[in-house]
Chains A and B, each alone.
Chain A
Amino acid sequence: MKKTPIGLFICLGMIFGLLISAPFAFSQDEPSFSSLSLWIGGHYTGIEDYHKKVGEFDRGEEGALPEIFLDYSNYKGKKTLRFSGHFYDPKRISVDLSGRSKEVLSGKISYHSFYRQRGKDLLNNLMAREATDKLNTLPGGGKMVTSEDLTPDADFGYTRHQLTSDFKIKVPGKANLKIIASHRSILEDGEDQKIVSMHCSSCHMVSKSVEVDRQTHAASVGFEVNPVEALLLSYTGSFRTFKSEAPVPTAFYDTAEHPIKGVNLSDRVIFGGEEVDFGEIPQTQKIAHTVKLQTQMGKSKIYGSFTNSQAKNISQGLEINSNGGNLKYVVNPTLKTKFTATASLKRIENDDVEIDVPAWRGGDPEQFDFIRYSSLTRTQGEGSAEFIYQPERRYRVSVSAGYEQTTRDDYPEPEAEGKTTKLKMSLGGKYRPHSKFTGRLKYFLEKTEDPAPYNLIFEESGKTYSSPFYYYQREELRYSQVTNQATMLHGVDLKLNFKPDQKATLSAGIRASLETNSDIDTLDFERTRLQPNLSLTLSPNPRWNLFGNLSYVYDKSNGLAAVAMMNG
């Protein structure tokens, strides 16, 4: 499998090369020009201390390696052919082949690979045991968390291979028809960490090394046609599939027993004392059809698109279907004004998932079965309008307003049709008194009603249960809501640009926003964001060029920390 991308690249390259080079071979009358650039050398990589983060996208191996780069171009009339290849190390290679044959065929195929180092969760923080007295002088209790690393020497990471191809063909004799085809394959192979969590009654986390062999293939075909001068129509059909060829990992799940008393607790868990598959990556595929339209009528332009898509989780037999359309209308009523209106409507339907839990403690087998309704099943509608007025070259003002509505079929409970609405407004201006200064300022506001808070985060006090009682019984105690989604946002965006002469440019700006939500009784949510930046470009003479950029991001918000108190 690991050699497939190179092999596939060579095959596609040969086909493409023949297509492109054929016109060269049969047209001897035109002069041709070519250029060749070759780099030959090497590099040495040195590493100090932990390198997996600082060198996340480096191969992570110390030492010297040869490096080579080749670039070849050939031009003959309206025909071009270009090849470039770069070998950096065995896991970082790039090859590109592109060409154009007159106005009829153009295309590019590329292969790029790199290695990504992955860190290892050391599980160091997962080591705790219940105290049985305040001073912790007595032996600990049975509630504990332990961890185990089955592959302490594992070096996690994977190589990512990406192969892409793009072709455009103008159909001979049909000057207004263009066919477009593209393809992208992403193959990832290597080794990654998986952590298995098992209990009861002691939580035991086990780290394992698993094989990575992920494959994504995507292809799209379509056409663009101008049936009349002022009308452009296009269609694109796309298909994408993902699967893992790695064997499904397995782990031995502990036999459920009390870690001190040895009491058998197997009736608390669904499986234990056996090897079980875990972490299976589902096979998925997606098919989408998009139709676009662009037309001009007098001073107006209209853009429209409609997309139908279907995504499938083949392993589980689940689907997400969506249909959505967008419209954009742009008109210049006068030379000094511009009006833009947009509208969109989208419907997403995500399959409900039936969770079938085996019989528990010999009780009612239906007790814990449930249906997971998806909050992704929704209808989204948006509309906006923007008006720009530029009375003279020196300044311009703009005002915009928009409205969004999202209705979720099964949120916050099945068939509840919970609705979130958002009103957006902005006011902006641009001032350019002369060619040496440009200033832009924009104020924006967003007002949101019911931003889908998380429900039931606290647990009520005072309930007494027979001993022992279980997590599921706590569900009925849950109440209240909290969210980090704002109901009101105010923001400003300021950009200043100074260009005293052709040798220097200074840009400064700041984007700031304040988000609040006072609709929730347990928290007055507030979030502040500031992003100032400053950049300078200097070219004092043809020998010197200097570029500098300074930026800062500040993001502060409040929230709640909560714990439940109970014995048992």
Chain B
Amino acid sequence: MDTTVSGEQKHYGSFFAETEYQNEALSFSANIFFFPNEKLNFNLSGNFTNSKGSMKIVEMPDPPKEVTNNIGTADYDYDSINLYSDLDYTQFYVSFGTEYSITKKVTWTLDAAYYDLTDNMEDYQGYVYGVETGSLYIIKSYLQR
């Protein structure tokens, strides 16, 4: 039970443990250009990135008995606070384009691009902004003179 005199509050100091934080990012990109003849060319580009941030589980020491007796309703389990820092995104981008010379002065172009982001922490409902998984595609065509 609380040993302090009624109407008094006691401070039991700081409770701390060492932990680790880790960031990783793997990125791959490639571009291929193909010119089968003077009138036609193709290009294919892609980019893949996986970014992760994670914190090692925090293993706090057992609090003194005086603390658990006197502040009985507190939860001294810190095993899950590392999950609040887990980030894991995969970003993927691919684009394809072609140009065809209709005449010496007029060229037709068609481009298609697809952007995708996967929030791999969906199980935790995302942080701050919610689950950020989504994709976007853009198809573009024009004549150039």
- B18:A548 contact, CB within 8 angstroms: no
A523 to B18, CA, bound (A): 8
A1 at interface by CB-CB < 8 Å: no
Query: Which residues in chain B, 56-107, are within 8 Å of chain A measured between CB atoms?
Result: 58, 60, 63, 67, 70-75, 78, 81, 91
B135 — nearest CB in chain A belongs to which residue?
A48
Taking CB atoms, residues of chain B closer than 8 Å to A468 are 9
Instruction: Choose among B15, B136, B140, B145 the residue that contacts A42 (Cβ–Cβ < 8 A).
Output: B140
A64 to B13, CA, bound (A): 62
A32 at interface by CB-CB < 8 Å: no
- Given A523-B18, A565-B63 in contact, is the A53-B12 Cβ separation under 8 Å? no
| Contact size range, A | 35 or more
- B109:A41 contact, CB within 8 angstroms: yes
A44 at interface by CB-CB < 8 Å: yes
- A553:B24 contact, CB within 8 angstroms: yes
- Given A464-B10, A559-B19 in contact, is the A134-B72 Cβ separation under 8 Å? yes
Q: A279-307, CB under 8 A of B: which get 1 and which 0?
A: 00000000000000000000000000000
A27 at interface by CB-CB < 8 Å: no
Max chain B C-beta neighbours (<10 A), residue from A49, A545, A568: A49
- Given A543-B36, A565-B14 in contact, is the A53-B141 Cβ separation under 8 Å? no
Q: How many residues of B contact A (CB 8 A)?
A: 70
- A567:B2 contact, CB within 8 angstroms: yes
- A45:B129 contact, CB within 8 angstroms: no
Instruction: Choose among A45, A462, A464, A561 the residue that contacts B19 (Cβ–Cβ < 8 A).
Output: A561
Instruction: Choose among B13, B20, B73, B128 the residue that contacts A460 (Cβ–Cβ < 8 A).
Output: B13
- A61 → chain B closest CB, angstroms: 11
A38 — nearest CB in chain B belongs to which residue?
B145
- B144:A561 contact, CB within 8 angstroms: no
- A143 → chain B closest CB, angstroms: 11
- A34 → chain B closest CB, angstroms: 14
A42 to B138, CA, bound (A): 10
Taking CB atoms, residues of chain B closer than 8 Å to A55 are 115, 134, 136
- A561:B16 contact, CB within 8 angstroms: yes
Taking CB atoms, residues of chain B closer than 8 Å to A122 are 128-130
- B7:A42 contact, CB within 8 angstroms: no
A44 to B136, CA, bound (A): 10
A327 to B4, CA, bound (A): 65
Q: A550-568, CB under 8 A of B: which get 1 and which 0?
A: 1111111111111111111
Instruction: Choose among A469, A543, A548 the residue that contacts B29 (Cβ–Cβ < 8 A).
Output: A548
- B11:A566 contact, CB within 8 angstroms: yes
A461 to B134, CA, bound (A): 49
- A565:B9 contact, CB within 8 angstroms: no
- Given A43-B140, A45-B138, A546-B32 in contact, is the A464-B17 Cβ separation under 8 Å? no
A134 to B71, CA, bound (A): 10
Max chain A C-beta neighbours (<10 A), residue from B17, B67, B129, B137: B129
Taking CB atoms, residues of chain A closer than 8 Å to B139 are 43-44, 46
A121 — nearest CB in chain B belongs to which residue?
B128
- B21:A39 contact, CB within 8 angstroms: no
Taking CB atoms, residues of chain B closer than 8 Å to A132 are 73
- Given A48-B134, A546-B32 in contact, is the A40-B142 Cβ separation under 8 Å? yes
- B71:A567 contact, CB within 8 angstroms: yes
Taking CB atoms, residues of chain B closer than 8 Å to A551 are 26-28
Max chain A C-beta neighbours (<10 A), residue from B16, B23, B128: B16
Binding site for B on A (CB under 8 A): 36-55, 58, 67, 69, 119-122, 124-125, 130-134, 457-469, 474, 477, 522-523, 542-568
The 6 lowest CB-CB distance pairs between A and B, nearest first, are A41-B142, A461-B13, A568-B9, A562-B16, A54-B117, A43-B140
